[in-house]
Amino acid sequence: MKVNGVECIKCKGKLLCGLSSCKVLNSYKRKTKTISVIKGKSFQGNSPPSVFVSWQNYPKVNLAPLSSTSFIEGIEVFDEPEEWFGFSSEKITEMRESLLMSGKKTDIFSALNPSKELSLIQETVMSIKPVDVSVEVNKVFSQKLSFDSFSSPLGPKADLKKFSLNENPSIPKKIDYIVSDTDLNSVEGLNELYSSNFSVTSLQKILSAGLLGLKKKRKLVPTRWSITAVDDTVSKKLIEKIKYFKEIDFIQLFQSSYLGNDFFVLLLPGSWSFEQLEAWKPDSVWLQKSETKIISDFESFRGRKKYASDVSGAYYAARLAAAEFLYEKRRQAKVLVFREIGSDYDLPLGVWLIRETVRDALQKKPLRFFDLDLALKFLSSRLTVEINSYIKKSKVLNELKQKKISDFF
C-alpha cells in the first residue's frame, strides 16, 4: 500500500508520507474496556514502573508516566516485554489498556534542571518494583488503545495535573550510582547497567527519562528512539568482543514462531556479519492487498554507519538477540535472520516481539549442516516464500555463492 507515494512497508509509522498521523496505525485504534470515567479526576494506583515520551513535535514532547487507576497485583509484568513471549495479543492489549498515560507537554532539555514533578517521575522509572502513586488529571482526552511499530500498545491518555509518590521507590544501588555519575556518557552507562543484568526494557525507560549521560547533555529521549538506541548500543559492545572469538565450525539453523511471525536464524561459519530479511505477505500489517514484499538490511565485519532504514528498529532488536547468543557461546559467525510475516500478525505490537522471538529461537537445539546448499534446501522446505527470492536480496548469500580466487587453485 502507498500513501502519498510512500510505501507503508518502508515507513512503518514514521510519517514519511507527510501526513500528521499514520493511516495504518489509526486503523488499529480501538476504545479501551477498562477506563471510562475517573471519579473526581484523581486516583491512586500503581506504576509497573513505566513512562512514555512522545516523538512528535520534538523537542516539545509529551512526558507521560503510566499507571493503573486502582491497585493491580503483578502489574510489574505490564511493562516488561521480556516476560511476554507466549502471551496472546489479547492478553498483551488487556494489560496495556489498564495503564493510563497521564501526560504533560515539556521540553526535552527539562532533564537538565528537572522540576520536582519530573524528579518524582524519574525516581519511579529507576525503581525495579511497582510504585504506589497518586495522580490527578485535568481530563481524559482519549479512551482509545493505540499501536506503534516500535513500542508496546498504549492505553488511554489524560492531561496530567499532578503526580506524586505514596512510597519510596525501590532503586538498586547500581542504577542510583550510574544515574548520579554525571561524568559518565550514556553509552558507557547503558553498557554498565546491561552488564549488571538489568533488562533491556529497564534501560530503555531510564534513557527515555533523561537519566543518563554527561550533566550538560542530558535530555528526555522519545520512547521509540530509546528502544532502538539501547538495542543498538548494547549489541555494538557485544559485537566488538565477538569479533575476537573463534568462528563456529558448522552451519546451524534455529526456528521460532510467535503471533503470525515465523523466524529462522541461520548461523554460517565465517567472520561476523549480520543480515535480516523480512517477507511481508499480503494483508499483513504494513502491506495490504498486494504481493509479498521482501525488505532487508545488512552489515559486514566493519559494521554499518547509517541507520537500517528498511527493516528499521526490528533490525537492531534481532541483532541484539543474535549478539547475546554468540557472546554467551564465545563464538562468531555470519548471521542471517529470515522473518515471514503473515495476516495472523493482525496488531503491530512493537519491536520487542522480534527481540524475544529471536531469543527464543536461539535457546532451542539447532539443526546442523556442513553444506550450505543442503541447509538452504532444507530451509526452503520450511519457508512459505521462495528461497530464491531471499537469495536475490541477500548480500551474505550472494557473496558466499560467488567463486573465490582460491577455488581455482
Instruction: Give the number of domains in the chain.
Output: 2
Residue 232 inside a domain? The answer is: no
Question: Degrees (nearest 5) of the Cα angle 325, 328, 331?
Answer: 80
Is residue 49 within 8 Å of residue 127, measured between CB atoms? yes
Q: Within this chain, do residues 154 and 254 fall inside the same structural domain, yes or no?
A: no
State the Cα–Cα distance between residues 235 and 30, nearest whole angstrom: 35
* Structure confidence at residue 241 (pLDDT): 98
Q: Within this chain, do residues 265 and 404 fall inside the same structural domain, yes or no?
A: yes
Q: Within this chain, do residues 137 and 263 fall inside the same structural domain, yes or no?
A: no
Q: Within this chain, do residues 141 and 266 fall inside the same structural domain, yes or no?
A: no
Residue 227 inside a domain? The answer is: no
Per-residue DSSP letter, 306: S
Residue 155 inside a domain? The answer is: yes
Question: What is Dmax (Cα atoms) for the chain?
Answer: 83
State the Cα–Cα distance between residues 125 and 114, nearest whole angstrom: 14
The last residue of one of the domains, among 139, 165, 191, is 165
Residue 269 inside a domain? The answer is: yes
State the Cα–Cα distance between residues 336 and 190, nearest whole angstrom: 26
Query: How do 51-53 and 60-67 pair as beta strands?
Result: antiparallel
Residues 6+ apart with CB under 8 A from 77: 48, 83, 84, 95
36: its cell numbers? 471510562
Q: Within this chain, do residues 350 and 253 fall inside the same structural domain, yes or no?
A: yes
Helix (H) or strand (E) holding 106: strand 100-107
Write the secondary structure of 6-56 as one string of H (helix), E (strand) and C (coil): EEHHHHCCCCCCCCCCCHHHHCCCEECCCCCCCHHHEEEEEECCCEEECCC
| Angstrom distances, CA of residue 254 to CA of 56, 108, 208, 374, 407 | 38, 42, 33, 15, 29
Q: Within this chain, do residues 160 and 37 fall inside the same structural domain, yes or no?
A: yes
Structural domain span for residue 396: 246-408
Residue 241 inside a domain? The answer is: no
Q: Under DSSP, is residue 376 helix (H, G, I), strand (E, B) or coil?
A: helix
Q: Within this chain, do residues 263 and 130 fall inside the same structural domain, yes or no?
A: no
Q: What is the sign of the dihedral through the CA atoms of 262, 268, 272 and 274?
A: negative
Helix (H) or strand (E) holding 267: strand 261-268
Q: Within this chain, do residues 161 and 257 fall inside the same structural domain, yes or no?
A: no
State the Cα–Cα distance between residues 116 and 271, nearest whole angstrom: 50
* Structure confidence at residue 405 (pLDDT): 39
Is residue 119 within 8 Å of residue 74, measured between CB atoms? no
Q: Within this chain, do residues 257 and 366 fall inside the same structural domain, yes or no?
A: yes
Question: Degrees (nearest 5) of the Cα angle 78, 84, 86?
Answer: 145
- Give residue-wise pLDDT tens across range 92-101: 999 999 999 9
Residue 267 inside a domain? The answer is: yes
- Residues 310-349 as b or e (16 or more Cβ within 10 Å = b): bbbbbbbbbbbbbbbbbbeeebbbbbbbbbbbbeebebbb
The last residue of one of the domains, among 120, 150, 165, is 165
Q: Within this chain, do residues 142 and 264 fall inside the same structural domain, yes or no?
A: no
Residues 6+ apart with CB under 8 A from 116: none
Q: What is the mean pLDDT of each run of 10 residues along the chain (409 residues)?
A: 60 69 64 60 93 94 95 96 96 94 95 96 98 93 83 93 96 98 97 98 98 96 97 98 98 97 97 96 71 94 94 97 98 98 87 98 98 96 96 92 49
The last residue of one of the domains, among 140, 165, 190, is 165
Q: Within this chain, do residues 301 and 155 fall inside the same structural domain, yes or no?
A: no
Q: Within this chain, do residues 281 and 395 fall inside the same structural domain, yes or no?
A: yes
Is residue 158 within 8 Å of residue 137, measured between CB atoms? yes
Residue 234 inside a domain? The answer is: no
**Burial class of residue 142 in the structure, from the number of CB atoms within 10 Å of its CB (0-12 exposed, 13-18 middle, 19+ buried):** middle
